[in-house]
Every structure is written in structure tokens, then in C-alpha cells.
Amino acid sequence: MKNVPVPIIAVDFEGSRSVGIVEYGAAEFFGGELRAVRTRICRPDSRISERDRALFDISDADARACRPFSDDIDLFVDMRRRGVFCAHNASVEDSLLRAQAVSPGEVPDFVRGGTCVSWGPWLDSFAFCKNAYPSLDSAKLSNAVDALGISGELDELALNFCPPGRRKWHCALFDAIACGLIYARTCSSEGFEGVTLAWLAEQSGVKGASQRDFGQLV
């Protein structure tokens, strides 16, 4: 990531529009390495159903003992001011975040220059996998991680950074680290060490960002 001058911050939320954000994970990658993480469980906006509890592995009682996500809006504003957000199916994370805070205020647009008042432009690792790795059978996050051979590194990072019991899929920080690793390891692949943020953004579905055509990986 030598030509990516700002952190790429992978974000994942567990929740829905009805219950809000019940867990967040943020994994900050810079220079190809995981530099910092943030994660916690949040008080829901409404009762967590048994179906959602089975998916998130977070009970309504446990979540209601926590502070609401709104207490950490300033943290997300600060992260967005310093770097670019990425997520797998980024429109979902953007929607959940905007439901809590419509805008971070005026922040740098690191991809296209100038400033903007949005949480984006987001790098979408789902779109990135489809565009940069067109031979993948599936761009689903778990499938892409396996196909790209980074599952071992993900497990090691999860052991070091994720809370006990949250080192698996559908846990916010685990999923966020997986998303960020896709970009970090792409940038260390032979022939792709010089990719720019603009190229990553274009492959991630951001229009008008490309500066150089690095082609496709596989």
C-alpha cells in the first residue's frame, strides 16, 4: 500500500434498520498492516429477535446493558476525517450509519479530491472481488477469503484483536478485518505493489477515480 497515503478503515455492523447497530467493528489498515481496531456491543433501538440473536450471537439482555451506538458517533467522524471507509456490500453499512448520523460534516474526499459531507465514497470489497478477481466462484466474504488464501492470517489477527467469543463470521470486528485484508493483500501481490487509492476505488465501484489500469489479478 505504498501509494495509498491514508488509512483504509474497514467497517462492519451487526444489526438492521429495525434494531439499529448492535455491534460495530472498525479495522484500520495502513501500509498493508492492521494498525488499530475498535469494537463493542451497542444498545439496540428495539428488541433483538430470536432470529437476529441466532445470527449475531448477541442477546437482547446483553445488548441492553451497553451504551447506544450514538455515544461513538464522534469516533466514526474522526476515523472518516483521517481515512477512507470500506465494507463488504458497503451500501448496507452506509445505510445503517446514516440512520444514526446523516453526515460526518465536511470531510476530505481522499478518492476524488476536495471535500464532501458524506461517509463515502466507500470502497466496496464485494464489488472489488468481482472486478479485480473475476474468476472467483463467489464474492461472498467468507468464500473470497478462502479463495484468496488469507483465512489463516485472518484467524491469527482475530486471535490477537477480536474479543473472546467474537472470532467468527457475523461478528463485526472479525468481518471488518476480513474485508480490510482483501485490500491489504491485494496491494502486496506481485505486480500490484504500486496500486493507487484511485485504482482500488474504481475496482470497488467508485466512479471517476481511476488513474492507472493495473488489470485483473485472476
Domain housing 55: 8-203
Omega before 104 within 30 of 0, i.e. cis = no
Predicted local confidence at residue 14, as pLDDT:
98
* 210 domain-assigned: no
The pTM of the full predicted model, rounded to 2 decimals, is 0.94
- Dist CA 127 CA 121 (whole Å): 13
* 34 domain-assigned: yes
* 116 domain-assigned: yes
**Secondary structure of residue 40 in the 3-state scheme:** strand
What mean pLDDT, rounded, does the chain reach?
94
* 212 domain-assigned: no
The pLDDT tens digits for 7-44 are: 999 999 999 999 999 999 999 999 999 999 999 999 99
The pLDDT tens digits for 97-125 are: 999 999 999 999 999 999 999 999 999 99
* 78 domain-assigned: yes
Number of domains within the chain: 1
Predicted local confidence at residue 192, as pLDDT:
86
- Dist CA 118 CA 57 (whole Å): 31
| Residue positions counted in the chain | 218
CATH assignment of the domain containing 35: 3.30.420.10
* 142 domain-assigned: yes
